[in-house]
């Protein structure tokens, strides 16, 4: 529900801001996996790989 709200809200923002909020939306999706089946270290590795 929150992810849907975040994504829908991003489409009502200015171009730069939309890009930021969508990036944060994707980050939330990755972070929510920590509690599911990945450890903080695995997610940190994944995020760092994406960032590099």
Partner 1 sequence: MRFRFDAQASDGLRVLPEIPDVTPCLIEGRNGIGKTVAVRLLELIAGNQPFAGFDRQWHSLRQRLGRTVVHVDHLRNGERLEFTFTPESWEVEGKAPLELGEWLGEVNINDERASVAEAQRLLWVERFAGNEDLDDTLRRRTRLYADAAERTSQAVASAVSLVTAVLEPVRSELLANDPEELTEAKQQLKAAEDDEKSSREKLALLIDAHELVLEAITARDRLSVAEDPAQGLGERLRELKAQLEALDKERTQLEQRINKTQTELSRQGDPQATLGDAQRTLRYRRKRLRNVQAEIERLSAQLAVKDVPEVVAAAEADVRRELEELEARRRALDASGITARLIDGMVPFLSGGQAEGLDDQVIVDLPDHRLNVAETRDGMERRREHLRGEPKPEELEALVHQSGQLRRRLVQVQDLARQLTESAKIRERAEVAEAEEEAAEKGVKEAGQRDEQYRADNQRLGAVEEEIDGVNHQVTEVHIQLGLEGGQSPEDARADLQRQLEALDVEAESELDEHERSQREEVNQARVRVQRASEHVTALRRSVTVLAASIDAAVASLQAEDRFAWLQAFLPREKDSAVESFARLRAAVIQLVDQLEETRNLVQVVGQFADAALGEEKMIPDRELYGAVRAVLADELLTSLDTEPIRERLFGGARIQSVDLGARELVLARNGGPSLPRPFDTFSTGEQAFAFTQARILELEPSDKPNRLLVLDEFGAFVAADRMPDLAEFLRSEPVAPIADQVLVILPLQIDYEAEIDDTTGSLRSRYEERVSQLQAREYYTQKLEA
Site map 3..32 versus partner 1, x via CB under 8 A:
x-xx-xxx-xxx--x---x-xx--xx--xx
- Taking Cα atoms as reference points, which of 33, 19, 27 lies closest to residue 47? 27
Q: How far is the CB of 22 from partner 1 (least distance, A)?
A: 11
- Taking Cα atoms as reference points, which of 39, 37, 11 lies closest to residue 25? 11
Check: CB of residue 34 under 8 Å from CB of residue 45.
Answer: no
Residues binding partner 1 (CB under 8 A): 1-3, 5-6, 8-10, 12-14, 17, 21, 23-24, 27-28, 31-35, 39-41, 43-45, 47-49, 51-52
């Amino acid at each position: 529900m929150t992810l849907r709200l975040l994504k829908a809200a991003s489409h009502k923002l200015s171009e730069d801001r939309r890009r930021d909020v969508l990036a944060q939306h994707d980050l939330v999706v990755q972070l929510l996996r920590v509690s599911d089946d990945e450890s903080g270290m695995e997610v940190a590795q994944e995020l760092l790989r994406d960032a590099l």
